[in-house]
């Protein structure tokens, strides 16, 4: 297979990446460094996440919104109803986030789970960094075998942002809680 001439929906990229495998490496420092990109003036952050309970992520979402950054998050519906994640989503609401505008809770286009663990941040002069892998944004995931990949790539970011936009639109158009009566 010629990896430079892939079909629609595939990407080839030779960008710089950093990979961490838990539990052999504690990802806390890397996560804090990554989230600092979202705390820059005019940053944009897009997250699609299956499970997100780590306060550091919600702290960064809240702080970034306070300084005027463009933040949008898609939570998987099954995990968003869990006690730990629900409490964190309530923190977002208490800090000015609006369901249906700043975040969505939904399913995939086949009405299954949103099993992605992915965040893309645009910062500075058209710079991007993307976090993806098998790692849910939770303490329990850090104790398990998971991979986190941090990639600096415009091509990957554009691809993930397209996927985010498609899923955001699909949820708004198809999930009952976002249908206007």
pLDDT digits 0-9 by tens, 36-57: 889 998 999 999 999 999 999 9
Average pLDDT over all residues of the chain = 90
Residue 59 CA, chain-centre distance (Å), reads 14
**Model confidence pLDDT, tens digit, residues 163-173:** 999 999 999 99
Q: How far is CA 36 from CA 58, 66, 80, 82, 143, in A?
A: 13, 14, 25, 27, 24
Assign domain 17-175 to a CATH class: alpha beta
Q: Which two tokens stand for residue 113?
A: 């789970």
Q: How many CB atoms lie within 10 A of CB 178?
A: 14
Q: How many CB atoms lie within 10 A of CB 12?
A: 10
Q: How many CB atoms lie within 10 A of CB 81?
A: 12
**Model confidence pLDDT, tens digit, residues 60-76:** 999 999 999 999 999 99
Which residues, in sequence order, are bridge partners of residue 120? 46, 130
Report yes or no on whether pTM surpasses 0.95: no
Average pLDDT over residues 135-140: 89
The DSSP symbol for 48 reads E
Work out the pLDDT band at 29, boundaries 50, 70, 90.
confident
């Amino acid at each position: 297979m010629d990896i430079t001439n892939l079909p629609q929906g595939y990407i080839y990229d030779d960008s710089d990446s950093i990979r961490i495998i838990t539990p052999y490496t504690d990802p806390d420092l890397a996560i804090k460094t990554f989230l600092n990109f979202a705390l820059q003036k005019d940053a944009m952050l897009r997250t699609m996440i299956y499970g997100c309970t780590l306060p550091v992520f919600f702290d960064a979402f809240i702080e970034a919104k306070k300084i005027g950054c463009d933040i949008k998050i898609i939570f998987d519906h099954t995990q968003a109803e869990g006690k730990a994640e629900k409490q964190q989503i309530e923190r977002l609401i208490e800090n000015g986030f609006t369901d249906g505008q700043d975040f969505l809770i939904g399913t995939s286009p086949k009405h299954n789970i949103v099993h992605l663990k992915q965040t893309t941040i645009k910062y500075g002069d058209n710079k991007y960094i993307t976090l993806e892998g098998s790692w849910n944004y939770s303490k329990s995931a850090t104790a398990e075998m998971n991979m986190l990949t941090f990639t600096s790539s415009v091509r990957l970011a554009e691809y993930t942002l397209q996927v985010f936009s498609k899923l955001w639109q699909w949820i708004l158009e198809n999930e009952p809680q976002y249908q206007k009566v």
